[in-house]
Amino acid sequence: MNPAAPMPLALIAELTHRCPLHCVYCSNPLEMGRRADELTTEVWSRVFREAAEAGVLQVDFTGGEPLTRPDIVDLVRAARGSGLYVSLITSGLPLDEARLDELVQAGLDHIQLSFQGATEESANEFSGTQAHAQKLRVLDWLKRRRVALTLNFVIHRRNIDRLAEMLALGESSCAGRIEFANVQYYGWAFANRENLLPTREQLDRSVDLLKRAEERLRGKIHVEFVVPDYYAKYPKACMGGWGQKLMLVTPSGDALPCHAAQIIPGLHFDNLKDRSLREIWEKSEAFEKFRGEQWMPEPCKSCDRRARDFGGCRCQAFLLTGDAAATDPVCSLAPQRSRVDAVLAAANGPAAESFVKPNWLYRPNPA
Amino acid sequence: MSTPDFNSRPSLAVGCRLNEKGQQSRVLHMPERALRLNGPSLEIIERCDGKRTVQEIISELQKLYSKAEPQKVEDDILGYLARLHDQRALDFISDQAERSTEAK
Compare CB distances from A83 to B2, B20, B31 and report the shortest one's residue. Answer: B20
Distance (Å) from the C-alpha of residue B70 to the closest C-alpha of chain A? 27
Distance (Å) from the C-alpha of residue A146 to the closest C-alpha of chain B? 7
A109–B17: do the CB atoms touch at under 8 Å?
yes
Alpha-carbon A124 to chain mean position: 20
pLDDT digits (tens, 9 = 90+) for A87-117: 999 999 999 999 999 999 999 999 999 999 9
B32–A147: do the CB atoms touch at under 8 Å?
no
pLDDT of residue A30: 83
pLDDT of residue A27: 83
| Among A292, A320, A317, residue whose Cα is nearest residue A307 | A292
**Residue A138: pLDDT over 60:** yes
Q: How far is CA A351 from CA A346, A347, A348, in A?
A: 8, 9, 8
Cβ neighbours of residue A194 closer than 8 Å, sequence gap 6 or more: A346, A347
pLDDT digits (tens, 9 = 90+) for A241-287: 999 999 999 999 999 999 999 999 999 999 999 999 999 999 999 99
Distance (Å) from the C-alpha of residue B69 to the closest C-alpha of chain A? 29
**Residue A130: pLDDT over 60:** yes
Q: What are phi and psi of A48, to 5 degrees?
A: -65, -40
pLDDT digits (tens, 9 = 90+) for B67-84: 999 999 999 999 999 999
Task: Kindly provide the ipTM of the predicted complex, given to two decimals.
Answer: 0.87
By the 8 A CB rule, do A361 and A188 touch?
yes
Tens-digit pLDDT string for chain B (104 aa): 678 899 999 999 999 999 987 767 899 999 989 999 989 999 999 999 999 999 999 999 999 999 999 999 999 999 999 999 988 899 999 876 555 444 43
| pLDDT confidence band for A307 (50 / 70 / 90) | very high
| Among A352, A31, A367, residue whose Cα is nearest residue A191 | A31
Compare CB distances from B29 to A85, A176, A218 and report the shortest one's residue. Answer: A85
- E runs forming strands in chain A: 10-14, 58-62, 85-90, 110-115, 148-155, 177-182, 222-226, 246-249, 255-256
Lowest-pLDDT choice from A14-28, A33-47, A131-145, B46-60 = A14-28
Mean pLDDT, rounded, for A321-350: 95
What is the percent of chain A with per-residue pLDDT over 70, rounded to a whole number? 97
pLDDT of residue B1: 65
